[in-house]
């Protein structure tokens, strides 16, 4: 009975955090002389106003949910995989590279897409393992290693777009030459989302949920994350498990990058990771590493992202406002968790 | 300062940790609080020092009712608490630690403070160097520093929580002398302990707590049997342990040299037989912990060999040692033994090597945990996170997680912080293991424990290791002298030692 009371209290506190962050954003809107109600309703309209917009929310949800799944694996092992942005980028680069290899061959396009997506997954894994190797064998904190690897991945991406893989004649920020339509993941009607991406994401959500909640592997990751020395003493090969956490995270990030190429952009673009990696980490913290919440919270963030596009168009507000909302939401909810612990802990 | 507790009540969930506690402590006395683990001693002291609030009841200082909201409040009222684990800042200088809790003044004259520091420590015969770093001090010296700091902040009441745990005999004597001086000056000393012998020589009066209730107060001189009965509600019989040594050699150190700054241990020859119990005696930091960790594969020796069951495991990892039947139980449970925030059931899932499917068979491990909880009398549920267990129960939980067939168990301070009953239980369980041909290698600061339970004893003095001493032939005084570096004239040369050991 006490537990259920605690749980409802906890929900109350989380809800308080939500209210506070809404209040905070309202204050900011008032400060810039904008009508908050209009802004919020624009975001709502922008996200769910018509079927195309809903479809766009789903398009943003796919990489966000995948990346968050990956981040949960590393968070569980006590690792801050900041390098996830680079892992998404490498996934996209590998996928693009494979499709380019097969562009003028007679290989079945379906097979090409499958190989390309697998290659993307491998790319993400390799980049993540690199951060892991630096951490485990080089003693480089995964935050710094990951940050460095992000820069290298971005440089590599830009280098390819403007160099080796540039469009004939003009190298441009709009990316590489789009692939012929046979190499696109089929989308639904005139919308931009693909059932295949959604299916892969749903599988990913189920896999990460069971992996972390119900398997020996997940429990060992958790032990490594909560107390690495004790875990070692209890017989868990700790560095191997840290590498496996990176592997799982890289897999999801690489898949997200690959799907961005084959299902959304059909080419490599400079901002292919679109900040989804960092956003995934925010969601991970927000949901307190509970896999069950990935899908809905990622959907909420995706809606804010897509809905936020309307703000500059109609109200001439900066589009970063949706970022401010996401950031303040995370901050206030974490703050309320702290407050809750203080209030419940002391008495 | 006179302290009056009036009907103090405190609940933690379903546990009534303090039930209507009501008694007085007069100034100038050394007052003991006795009780087994979980009797409510620490709770009461935490209430007095402002760490937690009582659900109801009052505290009166010199007849004035006070409300103590935080440790900072407590020190303003003149109440200072010395914790079992010193709450200091190891990477800082002694003198900076001394100053750190001082409020009010922003600018400090280092010179004045140092003079005051020296004056204060001279009163008690302490000799701390203000310019060393705290992490270079022993537990006993850190305790001295903390006492000085609290006195300097104006403490009139000193609460000491298990102060004799983990310090050497000499430091204990120094501490006791200092406390007597303080009591003469009119300060109130509250001495929380479960060690009857300490309470017996120190305290003018004791209060005994059991299961959250005040059982009674007793004035010195004490009848030990009466105190034990009040603490546990029954008589406790300590059986003399039997030796269960066999002839089979299970573990061997061959000419082992280990370096771990600042300790260097050289040329250890040693053979251990199945079922044997070996105690490692010595002052803290004399090299026992270094040798023990080398035996577990956690430290790589510079030269020499470690042989387990006739297999040379030198340079192998701890996990290799585990596979060959070596287990290590470290002293700090939550740092190196148990994983915080994981439940008991999750721990048993982690340590079970069979049943290796992909998914966890939760009902199976739940039942298994329940059974272990019953077997080892752990106060907790399979869903209890380990950090919510008391120290004694964490110790039992660690013990219960050991594999069934082991060649050797290495333990650091197996009964530190445990009450008599728990300590006896711990050793009963360990002796059961010995009967199953497991050998025990343990460190303890408690010399009586070492003599009582060991078959042979290795004495350590600043990196020197004695030849094994027969525990039935050595007295407490001799052992005490040896750990202080005296009485080593009987030491044989290496060759002789080796002969002596190989022909038991």
Per-residue pLDDT band for B494 (boundaries 50, 70, 90) equals: very low
Contact B351 A216 (CB under 8 A): no
- At A88 the pLDDT is 97
Paired strand residues for A145: none
- Regarding predicted confidence, which is higher, B193 or A45? A45
B421: confidence class by pLDDT, cuts 50, 70, 90: confident
Distance CA A253, CA A273 (A): 9
Residue B493 has pLDDT above 60, yes or no: no
Question: What's the first-to-final CA gap in chain A, in angstroms?
Answer: 18
| Partners of B6 in the β-ladder | B58
Q: What percent of chain A has pLDDT over 90?
A: 66
User: From the CB of residue B115, how many other CB atoms can be counted at a distance below 10 Å?
Assistant: 11
What's the pLDDT score for residue B31? 94
Instruction: List the one residue out of B242, B123, B101, B241 whose CA is nearest residue B174.
Output: B123
pLDDT at B72 over 80: yes
Minimum Cα–Cα distance from B355: chain A residue:
A216
Average pLDDT of the residues in B270-274: 90
Residues belonging to chain A:
347
A307 phi/psi in degrees, rounded to 5: -65, -35
Categorize the per-residue pLDDT at A345 as very low, low, confident or very high, splitting at 50, 70 and 90: low
Give yes or no for a contact between A124 and A250, defined as CB atoms under 8 angstroms apart.
yes
Q: Which of B251, B328, B264, B331 is nearest to B297 (CA)?
A: B328
**pLDDT surpasses 80 at A318:** no
Alpha carbons B363 and B361: distance in angstroms, whole number = 6
Q: Which of A212, A234, A236, A237 to mutate: most B Cβ within 10 Å?
A: A234
Residue located via tokens 């000799």? B127
Q: Does A214 touch chain B (CB under 8 A)?
A: yes
Backbone phi, then psi, for B376, in 5-degree steps? -100, 10
Q: What percent of chain B has pLDDT over 70?
A: 92
In which domain, by residue range, is A89 found?
Answer: 62-287
Note the pLDDT tens digit of each residue in A110-142: 999 999 999 999 999 999 999 999 999 998 999
Q: Is the Cα torsion angle A103, A105, A111, A115 positive or negative in sign?
A: negative
Q: State the complex-level ipTM.
A: 0.85
**Per-residue pLDDT at B492:** 42
Which chain B residue lies closest to A3 (C-alpha atoms)? B13
CA distance B331 to chain A (A): 12
Whether A88 is in a domain gets the answer yes
- For chain A, what is the largest distance between any 2 Cα atoms, rounded to a whole number of angstroms? 72
What value does the mean pLDDT take over residues B242-249?
83
Collect all residues with Cβ–Cβ distance below 8 Å to A104 and sequence separation of at least 6: none
Residues of B in Cβ contact (< 8 Å) with A212: none
Minimal Cα distance from A223: which residue of B?
A: B339
β-pairing, B188-193 vs B30-34, is: parallel
Q: What pLDDT is attached to residue B166?
A: 65
d(CA A2, CA B14): 10
Is B346–A219 a contact, with Cβ atoms under 8 angstroms apart? yes
pLDDT of B238 reads 66
- Inside any domain, residue A3: no
Does residue A4 belong to any structural domain of this protein?
A: no
The closest of B333, B339, B404, B415 to B372, measured between CA atoms, is B404
Q: Determine if the peptide bond prior to B262 is cis (ω within 30°).
A: yes
b vs e for A162-172, b when ≥16 Cβ sit within 10 Å of the residue's Cβ? eeebbeeeeee
Where exactly are the structural domains of chain B? 3-232, 249-325+406-502, 340-402
Q: Which residues contact B141 (CB under 8 A, 6 or more apart)?
A: B128, B171
Q: Which of A125-139, B80-94, B375-389, B415-429 is predicted with the least confidence, judged by mean pLDDT?
A: B80-94
Edge-first strand order for the sheet with B15-25 is: B15-25, B3-12, B56-61, B64-66
The pair of three-digit structure tokens given for residue A134, joined into one six-digit string: 């630096």
The answer to whether B460 touches B282, Cβ cutoff 8 Å, is yes
Q: What are residue B215's phi and psi, to 5 degrees?
A: -80, -40
What average pLDDT does this structure show over B321-349? Answer: 89
pLDDT in tens, B275-305: 999 999 987 778 888 999 999 999 999 999 9
DSSP B209: E
Least CA distance to A231: which residue of chain B? Answer: B339
What mean pLDDT is reported for chain A? 90
Q: How many CB atoms lie within 10 A of CB A203?
A: 10
Residue B328 three-state SS: strand
pLDDT band at B503 (very low <50, low <70, confident <90, very high): very low
B195-218 tens-digit pLDDT: 788 888 889 999 999 888 899 999
- Is residue A51 predicted with pLDDT exceeding 80? yes
Of residues B376 and A199, more confidently modeled: A199
* pLDDT exceeds 60 at position A2: no
How do residues B149-177 score in pLDDT, each as one tens digit?
888 888 899 999 888 776 777 788 888 98
**Bridge partner list, B216:** B208
Give chain A positions within 8 Å (CB) of B344: none
Q: How many domains does chain A have?
A: 1
- C-alpha–C-alpha distance, residues A336 and B4, integer Å: 39
Is the distance from CB of A291 to CB of A338 less than 8 angstroms?
Answer: no
Q: Is residue A329 domain-resident?
A: no
| Whole-angstrom distance, CA of residue A310 vs CA of residue A320 | 11
| Mean local confidence (pLDDT), A155-177 | 88
Token pair in block for residue B480: 């005490």
How does pLDDT run across A266-301, given as a tens digit for each residue? 999 999 998 899 999 999 988 888 899 999 999 999
Chain A residue at shortest CA distance from B293: A233
Residue A316 lies in a domain: no
- Reference B81, options B123, B48, B117, B33; nearest CA is B48
With contacts defined as CB-CB under 8 Å, which chain A residues touch B339?
223, 226-227, 230-231, 234
**Distance between CA atoms of residues A108 and B399, nearest Å:** 61
DSSP class per residue in B63-130: TEEE---SHHHHHHTTEEEE-SS----TTSBHHHHHHHT--S-SS--HHHHHHHHHHHHHHHT----T
Nearest CA to CA, how far is B1 from chain A (Å)? 28
Confidence label for B418 from pLDDT (cuts 50, 70 and 90):
confident
pLDDT value, residue B262: 76
- Measured CA to CA, the distance from residue A127 to residue B341 in angstroms comes to 31
**pLDDT surpassing 50 at residue A331:** yes
Q: Is the pLDDT of residue A313 over 50?
A: yes
**B64 Cβ contact partners less than 8 Å away, ≥ 6 residues apart:** none
| CB count in 10 Å sphere of residue B44 | 28
% of chain A beyond a pLDDT of 70 = 97
- B45 close to B9: Cβ distance less than 8 angstroms: no
Helix (H/G/I), strand (E/B), else coil: B36: coil
Which carries the bigger pLDDT value, residue A94 or residue B221?
A94
Q: Which residues of B touch A215 (CB under 8 A)?
A: 358-360
B219 and B204 Cβ atoms separated by less than 8 Å: yes
Q: Whose structure tokens read 């219960």?
A: B400
Identify the burial level of B119 via C-beta atoms within 10 angstroms of its C-beta, where 0-12 means exposed, 13-18 middle and 19 or more buried: exposed
- Residues in A touching B399 (Cβ below 8 Å): none
Q: In sequence order, what are the beta bridge partners of B410?
A: B328, B441
Tell me, yes or no, if A212 comes closer than 8 A to chain B by beta carbon: no
CA–CA separation, B296 and A20 (whole Å): 53
Sign of CA dihedral B282, B286, B289, B292: negative
Q: Is the CB of residue B143 less than 8 Å from the CB of residue B86?
A: yes
Tokens in use for A96? 């693009």
pLDDT tens figures, A196-254: 999 999 999 999 999 999 999 999 999 999 999 999 999 999 999 999 999 999 999 99
List pLDDT tens digits, range B180-198.
989 999 999 999 887 788 8
Q: Domain B3-232: which CATH class?
A: alpha beta
> Does residue A275 form part of some domain?
yes
Side-chain-side CA neighbours of B422 within 13 Å: the count stands at 26
B121 and B175 in contact (C-beta within 8 Å)? no
| A112 φψ region: left (φ > 0), alpha (ψ -120 to 50), beta (else) | alpha
B125: left (phi over 0), alpha (psi -120 to 50) or beta: left
A219, A230, A347 ranked by CB distance to B336: nearest: A230
Q: Flag whether A215 is in a domain.
A: yes
Task: For A57-70, write each residue's pLDDT tens digit.
Answer: 999 999 999 999 99
What contacts B157, CB < 8 A, 6 or more positions away? B1, B3, B48, B78, B79, B80, B187, B188, B189, B190
Return the CATH number of the domain spanning residue range B249-325+406-502: 3.40.50.300
Q: Tens of pLDDT along B114-148?
A: 888 888 888 888 888 888 888 777 777 888 888 88
């Amino acid at each position: 009975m006490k537990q259920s009371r605690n749980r409802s209290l906890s929900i109350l506190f989380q809800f308080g955090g939500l209210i506070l962050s809404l209040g905070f954003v309202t204050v900011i809107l008032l400060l810039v002389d904008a009508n908050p109600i209009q802004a919020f309703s624009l975001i709502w309209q922008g996200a769910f106003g018509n079927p195309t917009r809903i479809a766009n929310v789903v398009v943003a949800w796919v990489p966000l949910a995948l990346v968050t799944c990956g981040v949960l694996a590393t968070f569980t092992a006590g690792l801050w995989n900041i390098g996830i942005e680079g892992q998404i980028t490498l996934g996209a680069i590998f996928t693009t590279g494979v499709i380019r290899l097969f562009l003028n061959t007679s290989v079945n396009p379906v097979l090409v897409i499958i190989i390309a997506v697998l290659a993307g997954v491998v790319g993400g894994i390799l980049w993540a393992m690199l951060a892991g190797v630096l951490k485990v064998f080089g003693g480089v904190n995964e935050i710094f290693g990951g940050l460095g690897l992000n820069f290298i991945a971005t440089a590599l991406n830009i280098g390819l777009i403007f160099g080796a893989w540039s469009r004939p004649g003009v190298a441009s920020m709009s990316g590489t030459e789009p692939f012929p339509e046979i190499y696109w993941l089929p989308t639904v009607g005139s919308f931009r989302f693909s059932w295949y991406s959604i299916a892969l994401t749903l599988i990913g959500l189920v896999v990460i949920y069971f992996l972390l909640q119900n398997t020996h592997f997940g429990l060992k990751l958790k032990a490594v994350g909560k107390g690495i020395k004790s875990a070692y003493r209890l017989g868990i090969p700790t560095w191997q498990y840290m590498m496996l956490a990176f592997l799982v995270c890289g897999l999801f990030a690489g898949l997200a990058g690959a799907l961005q190429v084959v299902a959304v952009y059909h080419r490599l673009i400079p901002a292919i990771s679109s900040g989804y990696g960092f956003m995934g980490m925010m969601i991970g913290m927000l949901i307190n590493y509970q896999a069950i919440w990935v899908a809905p919270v990622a959907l909420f963030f995706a809606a804010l992202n897509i809905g936020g596009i309307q703000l500059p168009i109609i109200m001439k507000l900066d589009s970063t406002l949706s970022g401010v909302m996401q950031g303040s939401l995370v901050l206030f909810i974490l703050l309320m968790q702290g407050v809750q612990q203080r209030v419940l802990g002391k008495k | 300062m006179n302290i009056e507790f009036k009907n103090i009540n405190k609940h933690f969930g379903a546990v009534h940790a303090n039930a209507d506690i009501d008694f007085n402590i007069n100034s100038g006395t050394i007052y003991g609080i006795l009780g087994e683990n979980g009797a409510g001693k620490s709770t009461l002291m935490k209430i007095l020092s402002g760490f937690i609030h009582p659900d109801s009841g009052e505290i009166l200082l010199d007849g004035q009712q006070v409300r103590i909201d935080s440790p900072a409040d407590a020190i303003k009222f003149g109440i200072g608490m010395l914790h079992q684990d010193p709450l200091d800042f190891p990477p800082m200088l002694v003198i900076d630690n001394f100053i750190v809790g001082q409020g009010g003044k922003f600018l400090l004259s280092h010179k004045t403070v140092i003079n005051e520091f020296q004056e204060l420590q001279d009163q008690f015969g302490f000799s701390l160097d203000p310019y060393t770093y705290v992490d270079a001090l022993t537990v006993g010296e850190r305790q001295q520093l903390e006492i000085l700091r609290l006195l300097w902040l104006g403490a009139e009441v000193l609460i000491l929580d298990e102060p004799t745990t983990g310090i050497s005999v000499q430091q204990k004597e120094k501490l006791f002398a200092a406390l007597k001086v303080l009591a003469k000056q009119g300060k109130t000393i509250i001495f929380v302990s479960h060690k009857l012998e300490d309470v017996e020589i120190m305290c003018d009066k004791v209060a005994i707590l059991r299961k959250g209730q005040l059982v009674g107060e007793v004035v010195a001189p004490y009848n030990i049997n009466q105190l034990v009965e009040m603490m546990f509600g029954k008589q406790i019989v300590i059986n003399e342990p039997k030796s269960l040594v066999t002839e089979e050699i299970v573990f061997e150190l061959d000419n082992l040299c280990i370096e771990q700054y600042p300790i260097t241990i050289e040329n250890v020859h040693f053979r251990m037989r199945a079922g044997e119990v070996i105690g490692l005696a010595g002052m803290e930091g004399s090299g026992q912990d270094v040798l023990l960790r080398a035996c577990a594969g956690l430290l790589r020796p510079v030269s020499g060999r470690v042989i387990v069951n006739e297999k040379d495991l030198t340079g192998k990892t701890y996990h290799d040692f585990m596979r060959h039947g070596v287990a290590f139980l470290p002293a700090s449970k939550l740092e190196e033994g148990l994983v915080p925030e994981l439940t008991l059931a999750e721990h048993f899932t982690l340590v079970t090597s069979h049943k290796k499917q992909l998914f966890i068979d939760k009902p199976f491990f739940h039942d298994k945990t329940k059974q272990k909880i019953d077997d080892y009398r752990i106060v907790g549920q399979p869903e209890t996170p380990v950090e919510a267990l008391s120290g004694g129960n964490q110790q039992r939980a660690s013990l219960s997680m050991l594999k069934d067939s082991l060649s050797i168990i290495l333990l650091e301070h197996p009964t530190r912080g445990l009450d008599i009953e728990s300590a006896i239980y711990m050793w009963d369980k360990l002796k059961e293991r010995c009967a199953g041909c497991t050998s025990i290698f343990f460190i303890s600061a408690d010399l009586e424990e070492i003599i009582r339970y060991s078959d042979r004893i290795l004495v350590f003095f600043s990196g020197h290791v004695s030849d094994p001493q027969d525990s039935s032939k050595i007295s407490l005084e001799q052992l005490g002298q040896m750990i202080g570096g005296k009485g080593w004239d009987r030491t044989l040369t290496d060759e002789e030692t080796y002969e002596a050991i190989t022909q038991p």
